[in-house]
Amino acid sequence: MTTTAITHISALVTNDPSLGDASPLGLIQDAAVVIEGDRVVWTGESSKAPATDNAVDAGGRAVIPGFVDSHSHLVFAGDRTQEFNARMSGRPYSAGGIRTTVAATRAATDEELSANVARYLAEALRQGTTTFETKSGYGLTVEDEARALRVAARHTDEVTFLGAHIVSPDYADDPAGYVDLVTGPMLDACAPHARWVDVFCERGAFDGDQARAILTAGRARGLHPRVHANQLGHGPGVQLAVELDAASADHCTHLTDADVDALAHSATVATLLPGAEFSTRAPWPDARRLLDAGATVALSTDCNPGSSFTSSLPFCIALAVRDMGMTPDEALWSATAGGAAALRRDDVGRLTPGARADLVVLDAPSHVHLAYRPGVPLVHQVWRAGERVAA
Ligand code: NIG
Ligand code: FE
């Protein structure tokens, strides 16, 4: 197999603390990365790099692992421009807007939905995202949820069943009947197409008992839990996520001390989604509080047409550093290694031998520029599984 070296890297983020400056980012100055096939086989100082078949000169730019976006909702049709406009004129966000997208999604063909997913994935890739999770949740019938997952699986292995996004409008008077549908025939049809099961555990969506019933039914069919928790207010979502060993509790905007403590003493990652707070003018999640307590924090986009219509992890990093108390190093770690932890993956989110060769060459001398130069397109090249895929 041919080997390729990426050389003349000003600062390489490996996310391996045993390398380089021994910080959590394992930062190596004046570095090189060697790729063989779809894997990284060597990282270190340029002067010690082994001989390779090919070399690509990074020109003194920084290199980071490809971003791991562990939370998005891309299987949808239409958009919610009017709702966003109304919100920016003072109307509050409510989960009810989801119904608008459900109607548009049900009316779309499989090919239209798939083209939409492809479009937003391509957009994310150009901004450095090389691993992407996405969900159902805008179908809310057995057939519409199953087809959303089939469409998602055309584009990524990280597929999440979110039949419990809101109670289907068809069951407005019978929420218990909808939970029975989700835990029965809908899961039967959907489980073969997904890796994860998720619930929007929130006032206006599903309460703690309903969420527990859905997540345990998913687990019985081989899906692993993750939870939309504590986005709009305090509630049982985070504690439930920890109780069920969910890979991730997502949003974590409204947390009690007991919630923070539970996350800090668990393997459940706190996934923060600042695009949602930006777009709903809500208070920021307190990343500093979680990090100081010892919780593992991931940063993701939550890309969806209602609460967070961004596919940009660089944008989320800038928000997290400016408004959520994260250092640039912590934000970068959370958008790469943190996202990998939230998907229980160890083959992505790091640049060390054995990892998938997913990396971003930044048009900057340091990863710090992602927060220091907000809104500037700093992605120079993207490599995924050893192939140069963008720029
Ligand atoms: O993660 N919170 C629930 N689901 C999405 C919003 C979906 C929508 O408004 O369409 C979220 O923010
Ligand atoms: Fe979400």
Each residue of 239-280: pLDDT tens digit? 999 999 999 999 999 999 999 999 999 999 999 999 999 999
The whole-model pTM stands at 0.98
* CB of residue 304 inside a 6 A radius of ligand 1: yes
Interface confidence (ipTM) of the complex: 0.94
Task: Give strand pairing partners of 161.
Answer: 197
Check the annotation: does 120 bind a ligand: no
Q: Which atom of ligand 1 is nearest to the CA of 71?
A: 1
pLDDT digits (tens, 9 = 90+) for 65-103: 999 999 999 999 999 999 999 999 999 988 889 999 999
* CB of residue 339 inside a 6 A radius of ligand 1: no
Scan for tokens 């469409």, then name that residue.
151
Please say if the pLDDT value at position 391 is more than 80.
no
Task: Give strand pairing partners of 198.
Answer: 226
- Centre of ligand 1 to C-alpha 276, Å, is 8
- Centre of ligand 2 to C-alpha 60, Å, is 37
Beta strands in 187-341 (DSSP E): 196-201, 224-229, 248-251, 269-272, 297-299
Same structural domain, 157 and 14: no
pLDDT digits (tens, 9 = 90+) for 31-57: 999 999 999 999 999 999 999 999 999
Provide the pairing of β-strand 248-251 with 269-272. Answer: parallel
pLDDT digits (tens, 9 = 90+) for 277-308: 999 999 999 999 999 999 999 999 999 999 99
* CB of residue 306 inside a 6 A radius of ligand 1: yes
Q: How far is the C-alpha of 110 from the C-alpha of 390, rounded, in Å?
A: 26
Q: Report, as an integer, the average pLDDT of 330-346.
A: 98
Q: Report how many domains make up the chain.
A: 2
Check the annotation: does 138 bind a ligand: yes
* CB of residue 279 inside a 6 A radius of ligand 1: no
Same structural domain, 104 and 202: yes
Same structural domain, 71 and 32: no
Same structural domain, 76 and 142: yes
CATH number, residue 262: 3.20.20.140
Q: Is residue 301 a contact partner of residue 266, using CB atoms and an 8 Å limit?
A: no
pLDDT confidence band for 390 (50 / 70 / 90): confident
Q: Is residue 62 a contact partner of residue 12, using CB atoms and an 8 Å limit?
A: yes
Check the annotation: does 381 bind a ligand: no
* CB of residue 314 inside a 6 A radius of ligand 1: no
Can you give 149-199 as a three-state secondary structure string?
HHHHHCCCCEEEEEEECCCCHHHCCCHHHHHHHHHHHHHHHHHHHCCEEEE
pLDDT digits (tens, 9 = 90+) for 12-36: 999 999 999 999 999 999 999 999 9
Same structural domain, 365 and 232: no
Same structural domain, 384 and 266: no
Q: How far is the C-alpha of 144 from the C-alpha of 379, rounded, in Å?
A: 36
* 62: alpha, beta or left? (left if phi > 0; alpha if psi -120 to 50): beta
Q: Which atom of ligand 1 is nearest to the CA of 98?
A: 10
Same structural domain, 256 and 383: no
Domain hosting 185: range is 67-342
